[in-house]
Structure 1
Amino acid sequence: MPDSPALSMPFNPAGIELDRRQGLSRQLYQALRLRVLDGRLASGTRLPASRDLATALAISRNSVVRAYDQLYAEGFIEGRVGDGTYVAQLPLSAPSAKKLSTKVSTGFSTGLPTALSTILPNLPGVSSSKVIHSGAAQRLENNHLSLPPSGPPKAFRVGVPAFDLFPFEVWAKLNAAFWRKPDLQQLCYGDPAGDARLRGLIAAYLRSSRGMQCSAEQIVITSGAQQGISLCAQLLVEPGDAVGIENPGYRAAGHAFAVAGARLHGVPVDAEGIDCAALAQVGDCRVAYVTPSHQYPTGVVMSLARRLELLAWAERNQGWIIEDDYDGEYRYSGAPLAPLAALDRQGRVLYVGTFGKVAFPALRLGYLVLPTGLVEAFARRRAVDVRHSEVSTQAVMAEFMATGHFQRHIRRMRRAALSRRNTLMAGWPGNIPGVGSLPSVTAGLHMTVAVDSLAREQQLLEQAASVDVEINGLSSYWLPGSSSSPDWRAGLVLGFAAVPENAINAALLRLNRVWRT
């Protein structure tokens, strides 16, 4: 059968303009990705060999190879053995690339109230039954929120970066400089959306490192990612609304939606991420919470096909996707994957970011990247809750970023996490009864190991605690009443970045001893 005209049409690099003062590989990657998304590069189109494209664009071959590598990693292109490189087949269920605008929508109707809610939990004289939907209240009553452990980090605490490597001396100098001669204007009440300079620097960082076309005006500073999720729950959910959350997933996010009165629907996660077919079966659901860069806790990286399918779901249902990119900076082959928000052309994704996973958790500094039409409502709601974030922390972080310390620190943290991951994998006790093999880990700060039964999981956790090793059970991440077999839900969730290599090796020796007895 002859090739279709679209497939036989050669790729023409004309029109790709690169600024030689900027990163060439990043620009080329973005240009090719945009052409795939808007239909100028159809599925099945053969791309030039890296050497030929480099010659055509008058750039180094290494720049083309790096751009191709990132497109491979994100699923936009694929290699065919002995036949070259082709644009990957995008799912038919994804929104048509030609229908997608290349700009974030600013005039869409939310279909949801943008006025601040006057229903606040735990107000004197207000019955909780009027605030929290009965189903959500039952979930909260049956399943108390577990707070993160405090105290010095242990192996293998989940959700903690290598903050022993944070440049505290640099931070102290910047902090002292701020307070030595503060700008009196900064000591007055500030913008509820956050410090303008910090918002601008965050937007610039996301544009350069994550491929997000966002502006400072779309960003609202928060007290960590959890407050960002809670704001989404407060403003996008009315009592009784259905919300789809990953199952297993980040339980604190589920609690935030439950407090807002949502009916939680656990949506299964498979090897490609959240099951969009199952999500589509949830009636009247218009809000979904996901962790696509590194699913929490399974570690799955959402495929490009699944990302486009999820965006199509949001467009079809005029819904919202809350993307929690809690540890997206940590990828161990190639650059970090572009988030969902970078693929969104309809203004349906609310992006949650945090500094806690690259600095230290006690910093309590995060941010939201919002569709333009939602920024004012979120800023007003935040003004009611806390007025604005603490000023000096924002100012010091802005200076930390502006002077290049932030990017250098991210590179240092990525190298440290990779080294600590390798130490864990090299020393992991093998052939422990009931424990599966270690997975391959290409991203994030934790891994999940299968265990053959819930009883065995609990036994392993108790034995680990007896030798001062901290491990989470996968069973604790499932919603109550999940349909999956209890034994199928068992596993060990291991953070590998919290402590240095010598502490990891010592913990592994203790585990090996106690688990074999």
Structure 2
Amino acid sequence: MTDSALSIAFNPAGIELDPKKGLSRQLYQALRQRVLDGRLSGGARLPASRDLAAALGISRNSVVRAYDQLYAEGFIEGRVGDGTYVAKLPEKALPIKKLSTNLSTGFSTGLSPGLSTKQAELPVITSSKVIHSTALSRVAKHALDLPPSGVPRAFRVGVPAFDLFPFEVWSKLQAAFWRKPDLQQLCYGDPAGDERLRGLIAAYLRTSRGLSCTAEQILITSGAQQGISLCAQLLVEPGEGVAVENPGYRAAAYAFAIAGAHVQGVAVDQEGMDCSALAHLSNCRLAYVTPSHQYPSGVTMSLARRLELLAWAERTQGWIVEDDYDGEYRYSGAPLAPLAALDRSGRVIYVGTFGKVAFPALRLGYLVLPKGMTEPFARRRSLDMRHSEVSTQAVMAEFMAAGHFQRHIRRMRRAALSRRDVLLANWPQGLAGVGPMPAINAGLHVAVPVSSFAREQALLAQAKAAGVEVNGLSSYWLEDSIEPVDKRAGLVLGFAAVPEVEIKAALERLRKVWN
């Protein structure tokens, strides 16, 4: 075919370029898409860059840049003295089925005037298309809702009083680190975490929590959730049983379920998890508990239950994952010694976090592991992320070493106590279907019983309309719970996220809509 025939076959009407965006990039994408879907078949000759530029009303340089990118990626090829041609690609290699072509339109030698240059829709992969992957199907079944966005409002759960965090001190420490960083710290680091920070965490736990441990037992994580996920990956084989509190922290239950475990809910009463039920669970390998302040009921596991749980782990060679997510907050006496402090057989993994004393976005937590287990946990973690972000670890280490951490914890405890007292003093009394406000001796939230699921949902809807965040206790139960739905009802309120004046205002709005 002659050059004149090619020019007639080529019609630029199908190419639409937005002058406000990169012209060469748009042209590259349009031509690339035509090669992939077969509208430009292998061996088709492309117009000379000067001719295409004139036809489209753009500079020749824009066309040359588009051609150069296509050439670099192998979509087109140049023939010395004979122009530019579409490369011949194997039909099986093309990701999109070829469109039927009509030779009389000249599709094989040019661009069709009826074909838009707008981005073609990509195929959507749904869970039904990947159901053959058991791991992906488990993820689809056990996905968490996105957390609430925006500035915390009353009564958001899981958020400390981070409006009181000493950001000025933190920023100075951060600036000092980056002003003259140790070049060694900017290389790849130990996946177990910063050595200095690990030592300081161990010292803090020994003095403040009565947990005897060393730096070698500490593994730094990106928040408590990563620590729980590591336990799920390394301590349980697919099909083995995992006991979780019910109601409880569903993100932990989901982590174990996605790892292939058979998650089994265990009832919680005023003494914590009913440990006697563990003997009746099939092939139970691990128990996940929040003994210091059960999430979300708020009860504290009794000493008898703690000893019973430890005896079960020693007898069965099972594991206990203790999540001490807000153990620093106790309002009468010193914080309770963790379950791990009673462990004499090395069966407890302690999960800690800085998110409840600093702010959730910090994403800094840790595990306290039995001796000899830190190395395999660190190796496994390094496959997900080589190591934690260096400056955050270094700054937290200095924050602790200089005494800021302990002072901040005392301040946070006083603030949480004050905000708790405002909630208790101003809570609306005599609400229909709402039980009495329980005593709050620890933690950052409280669960209030409600008579029925329907009443719970009505209260939640009214609170939302009033701009107040309240969680339903029913949402903390496992989906396959046998407990009657009305027995699951309640209100869960976090009381530390906002100052006292905002708590009073929110309670006043609730009093109006709930009455």
Shorter-chain TM-score range? 0.7 to 0.9
CA RMSD of aligned residues (A): 1.5
CA distances 1:351-385 after superposition (whole Å, capped 9, x unpaired): 00000000000000000000112111100011110
Structure 1 residue 128: Cα displacement = 6.2
- Alpha-carbon distance in 2 for matches of 1:133, 1:465: 33
Give per-residue Cα distances to partners, 1:422-469, cap 9 Å, x unaligned. 000100001010000100010000000000000000000000000100
Q: Is the 1:234–1:260 Cα contact (8 Å) retained in structure 2?
A: yes
User: Could you say which residue in structure 2 is the equivalent of 1:427?
Assistant: 426
Residues 194 and 406 of structure 1: is their aligned pair in 2 closer, same or farther, counting only changes over 3 Å? same
Map 1:110-149; keep pairs closer than 5 Å.
129=132, 131-132=134-135, 137=138, 141=140, 144-149=143-148
Cα gap change, 1:368 to 1:143, in 2 (>3 Å): closer
- Give the TM-score of the pair, scaled to structure 1: 0.74
Match of 2:337 in 1: 338
* 3-state secondary structure, aligned to 2:286: strand
Alignment of 1:48-59 (within 5 A): none
Contact 1:157–1:496, Cα closer than 8 Å, also in 2: yes
8 Å Cα contact 1:133/1:239 also seen in 2? no
Contact 1:143–1:480, Cα closer than 8 Å, also in 2: no
Structure 1 Cα separation of the partners of residues 392 and 356 of structure 2: 16
User: Does residue 394 of structure 2 align to residue 395 of structure 1?
Assistant: yes
The aligned runs of 1:271-420 (5 Å cut-off) are 271-420=270-419
Contact 1:473-1:493 at 8 Å conserved across structures: yes
Unmatched 5+ residue regions in structure 1? 1-121
Once the two structures are superposed, residues 255-307 of structure 1 have per-residue CA deviations (whole angstroms, 9 ceiling, x without a partner) of: 10111011110000111110011122102101110000000000010011110
SS at match of 2:373: helix
Taking the aligned partners of 1:227 and 1:143, their CA distance within structure 2 comes to: 16
The runs of at least 4 consecutive aligned structure 1 residues that moved more than 2 Å come to 126-134, 140-144
Corresponding residue for residue 197 of structure 1: 196
Stretches of structure 2 that go unaligned for 5 or more consecutive residues are 1-124
1:130 Cα deviation after fit: 5.4
Say if 1:479 and 1:277 are closer, same or farther in 2 by CA, change over 3 A. Answer: same
Q: 2:224, 2:351 within 8 Å by CA — same for their partners in 1?
A: yes
Are the equivalent residues in 2 in contact too, given 1:287–1:322 (CA < 8 A)?
Answer: yes
Cross-structure match for 1:490: 489
Question: What is the CA-CA distance between 1:150 and the residue it aligns to?
Answer: 2.0
**Counterpart secondary structure, 2:355:** coil
Secondary structure of the equivalent of 2:464?
Answer: helix
- Secondary structure of the 1:156 match is coil
TM-aligned CA deviation for residue 144 of structure 1:
3.8
Partner Cα distance (1:157, 1:430) in 2: 21
SS in structure 2 of the partner of residue 372 of structure 1: coil
Letter in 2 for 1:501: E
Which secondary structure does the structure 2 equivalent of 1:132 belong to? helix
Distance 1:307 1:180, change over 3 A: same
In 1, are the aligned partners of 2:142 and 2:258 still within 8 Å (CA)? Answer: no
- Equivalent-residue separation in structure 2 for 1:205 and 1:498 (angstroms): 25
Matched-pair contact (CA < 8 Å) for 2:142–2:254: no
Report the equivalent of 1:69. Answer: none
Distance 1:373 1:133 in 2: 32
Residue by residue over 1:20-53, the C-alpha shift from the partner in whole angstroms, topping out at 9 and shown as x without a partner, is xxxxxxxxxxxxxxxxxxxxxxxxxxxxxxxxxx
Q: TM-score, normalised by structure 2?
A: 0.74
In the alignment of these two chains, the number of paired residues is 388
Whichever residue aligns with residue 305 of structure 2, its letter is R
Give the aligned partner of residue 80 of structure 2. Answer: none
CA deviations 1:81-130 (Å, max 9, x no partner) are xxxxxxxxxxxxxxxxxxxxxxxxxxxxxxxxxxxxxxxxx9xxx97655
Identity fraction in percent: 75
Aligned to 2:96: none
**Residue 239 of structure 1: CA displacement?**
1.3
Q: Which amino acid counterpart does residue 355 of structure 2 have in structure 1?
A: G
Partner residue, 1:9: none
Distance 2:132 2:210 in 1: 44
The answer as to whether partners of 2:246 and 2:476 remain within 8 angstroms in 1 is yes
Quote how far apart the aligned CAs of 1:147 are.
2.7
In structure 2, what is the Cα distance between the partners aligned to 1:143 and 1:460?
Answer: 27
- SS of alignment partner, residue 323 of structure 1: strand
The answer as to whether partners of 1:242 and 1:285 remain within 8 angstroms in 2 is yes
Bigger radius of gyration: 2
Give 1:462-477 correspondences, 5 Å limit.
Answer: 462-477=461-476
Aligned to 1:160: 159
Relative distance call for 1:401 and 1:199 in structure 2 (3 A) is same
In the aligned structure 2, how far is the partner of 1:127 from the partner of 1:201? 46
Work out the CA distance in 2 between the residues paired with 1:189 and 1:216.
20
In the aligned structure 2, how far is the partner of 1:150 from the partner of 1:256? 23
